[in-house]
Chain A
Amino acid sequence: MSLELTKRIAEAVPPWLDDAAKQAQAPVQQFFSARPRLHNLLDGTWLGVPLHPALTDVPMGAWTSAFALDLVAALTGSEAANQAADGALAVGIAGALPAAATGTADWRDLIGEERRIATVHALLNVAGLFLNVSSLAQRLRGNRGAGRALSAAGLAISGSAAHLGGELSFGLGVRVNHTFADTQPSEYVAVADETELQGQDVKAVTADGTSVLIARSQSGELCAIANTCSHLGGPLNEGTRDGDVIACPWHGSRFDLCSGAVVEGPAVFAQPRYEVRTNGGKIELRAPTDH
């Protein structure tokens, strides 16, 4: 229903705007690639969940509070509610800055429909922030009526932007763990001949309908993790191997080949790992028993 509306919004984005967004992504990608500590912080890799959706609660909720307090103040004439509304507006503006920084980091890797929706989401949020800052300026000058009108308009625009953000997460699965629907066999299944995996090769195999990456560690241990990158679904077997670390070919997330742990973002979720053994010349996999 409303996903359809969102798709229509995505389709209505003029090609020049999407081209401009694509052009703007390249320097942003370069900027963050050169600063792994900064992008791990903004992506949420250190936390294990995406950071942007958590931080957006602060401006959205604070501006909603400001609107509610404005209503209370308008109805009761309470000076306390007026001052609280101004404070809530200021908290929201302060909270919008980290939300914008993490949002920019999330936007840098999107393509297609996701990028078009995210670009509209970002532009609406910039407009909403501008209105809320203008509102605070009017309030500080004593123009309460103009201040209330500006922040109400700002909330409407930021709220629409937040709706699109929700569609990106819950409707399109942006930043949702891309391995969440993976199934793992509970009993050992054969996936390849031992001779098919030589030296430092990595190989994609299929177990229980799920693509799995198998490799030998440098110490010779057989290892297997999910082959679909948890970040945006890139095929890890097409990535580059450096020691016991594999880098996703799409956005450069790096994972430990044996534990699946994230070594560098933008991914925030570890790759599911498998137990591996050899049996009669075959490599066999199953879900880890300590799971």
Chain B
Amino acid sequence: MSLLITLVKGFAGKPSHAPLTDASIGAYTVGVAMLIAGAAGLEQAAMAKGALLAVSGGLIAAIPTVVTGLLDYFDLPKRTAARTLATYHLCVMLAATALFVATWLGQRQGYLDGTVTTPGLILGIGAFALLVIGGTLGGALAYVYGVRVIKRDVPIADALIPGRLEASGTRTAGSGARTDWTGWSVRN
């Protein structure tokens, strides 16, 4: 069971959540771009259909994205700055997902009529704004707090300078265990 969860979450230094977010964010972006292009009068009939298909793809990709995101979330120690930020990320992303569901429902009739609906367009733009905010918060978790980034047993500063590792004697090439923030060990 724990192996299965590890497979779902991804191994140390190989998180599953981050690449999955590319699929859903990219599909939503395509959908909203098509809503805007169609509303602006560019190939409206094709854009109306394409937008719904792309948002559908985004919602499908959101399922594994939410599952892996929640698994990572519950691994974060409570009452830490990273966990607080993750809670905001979670709330904003759930709201964005709900708005994309509403966008889908709003554009459903437009798919059949070949038109971009006003509710679909407005909900889509609102959902996209939340998506950008939520995505930025998620990026901050990885890049500010190093969530799911491998922690090394030597300062990265030293690891970057050719020759300094050998000189400092902290680590010889090929040895030394490293962990990511969840404490999973990874062979070097």
Interface residues, chain A, CB within 8 Å of chain B?
1-4, 47-50, 53-54, 56-65, 68-69, 72, 80-81, 83-84, 87-88, 91-92, 95, 111-112, 114, 162-163, 166-167, 169-173, 175-178, 180-181, 228-229, 232-235, 268-269
Residue pairs across A and B with CB atoms within 8 Å: the count is: 183
CB <8 Å contact, B50 and A88: yes
Specify which of A81, A173, A232, A268 is in contact with B149 (CB 8 Å cutoff): A173
B-side interface size class: 35 or more
* Complex contact B15–A87 (CB within 8 A): no
Query: Do most interface residues of chain A lie in helix, strand or loop, or is the interface mixed?
Result: helix
A233 close to B30 (CB less than 8 A):
no
* Interface check B40, CB cutoff 8 A: no
Q: Which of B129-188 contact A (CB under 8 A)?
A: 135-136, 139-140, 142-146, 148-152, 155-158, 160, 162, 180, 186-187
Are B18 and A65 in touch, CB under 8 angstroms? no
Contacts A61-B23, A228-B157, A233-B157 given; does A170 touch B47 at CB 8 Å: no
Asked whether A61 lies within 8 Å of B34 as measured between CB atoms, the reply is no
- Known A-B contacts: A83-B49, A163-B19. Give 16 more (CB < 8 A): A57-B25, A61-B26, A61-B28, A64-B22, A65-B26, A80-B53, A84-B30, A84-B53, A87-B33, A114-B160, A162-B19, A166-B14, A171-B14, A181-B151, A232-B160, A233-B155
Q: Does B126 contact A (CB under 8 A)?
A: no
Residues of B within 8 A of A173 (CB): 146, 149-150, 152, 156
A234 to B13, CA, bound (A): 23
Q: In the bound complex, what is the Cα–Cα distance between A2 and B29 (angstroms)?
A: 30
Measured CB to CB, the nearest residue on chain B to A87 is B50
Q: Are A167 and B143 in contact (CB under 8 A)?
A: no
Would you call B73 an interface residue if the criterion is a C-beta within 8 Å of the partner chain's C-beta atoms? no
- A46 shortest CB reach to chain B, Å: 12
Q: Tell me if B46 is interfacial: C-beta within 8 Å of chain A.
A: yes
Residue of B nearest to A229 (CB): B157
Which 6 A/B pairs are nearest by Cβ-Cβ distance?
A: A61-B26, A233-B157, A84-B50, A80-B49, A180-B146, A171-B13
A112/B160 in contact, CB under 8 A = yes
* Closest Cβ neighbor of A94 among chain B residues: B33
Please measure, in the bound complex, the distance between the C-alpha atom of A162 and the C-alpha atom of B49, giving whole angstroms. Answer: 29
- Which B residues are CB-close (under 8 A) to A166? 14-15, 18-19
Q: Which residue of A lies closest to B21 (CB)?
A: A57
Contact A64 B26 (CB under 8 A): yes
Asked whether A84 lies within 8 Å of B49 as measured between CB atoms, the reply is yes
- Show 22 residue pairs from A and B whose CB-CB distance is below 8 angstroms, ordered by the A residue: A3-B14, A49-B143, A54-B136, A57-B22, A57-B135, A65-B26, A80-B111, A83-B43, A84-B30, A87-B46, A87-B50, A88-B54, A162-B19, A162-B22, A171-B13, A171-B14, A175-B143, A176-B143, A177-B143, A178-B156, A229-B157, A232-B160
- Which residues of A have CB within 8 Å of B22? 56-57, 60-61, 64, 162
Q: Are A111 and B157 in contact (CB under 8 A)?
A: no
Closest approach, in angstroms, between the C-beta of B117 and any C-beta of chain A? 16
A95 to B, closest residue via Cβ: B29
> Are B25 and A58 in touch, CB under 8 angstroms?
yes
B21 touches A111 (CB 8 A): no
A225 to B22: give the CA distance in the assembly, Å: 35
Nearest chain A CB to B15's CB is how many angstroms away?
6
Closest to B50 in A: A84
CA distance A233 to B160 in the complex (A): 8
CB 8 Å contact bits of B113-131 with A (1 = contact, 0 = none)? 0000000000000000000
> For the complex, is B27 an interface residue (Cβ under 8 Å from A)?
yes
CA of A87 to CA of B111 in the docked complex: distance in angstroms? 16
Q: How far is the CB of B82 from chain A (nearest CB, A)?
A: 9
CB of A95 to closest CB in B, whole Å: 7
Q: Which of B43, B53, B150 has the most A CB atoms < 10 Å from its CB?
A: B53
Q: How far is the CB of A52 from chain B (nearest CB, A)?
A: 10
- A111/B18 in contact, CB under 8 A: no
Residues of A within 8 A of B64 (CB): none
A61 near B15 with CB under 8 A, answer no
Known: A65-B54, A80-B53, A166-B19. A60 touches B14 (CB 8 A): no
A81 to B24, CA, bound (A): 17
Cα separation A59 to B143 with both chains bound (whole Å): 21
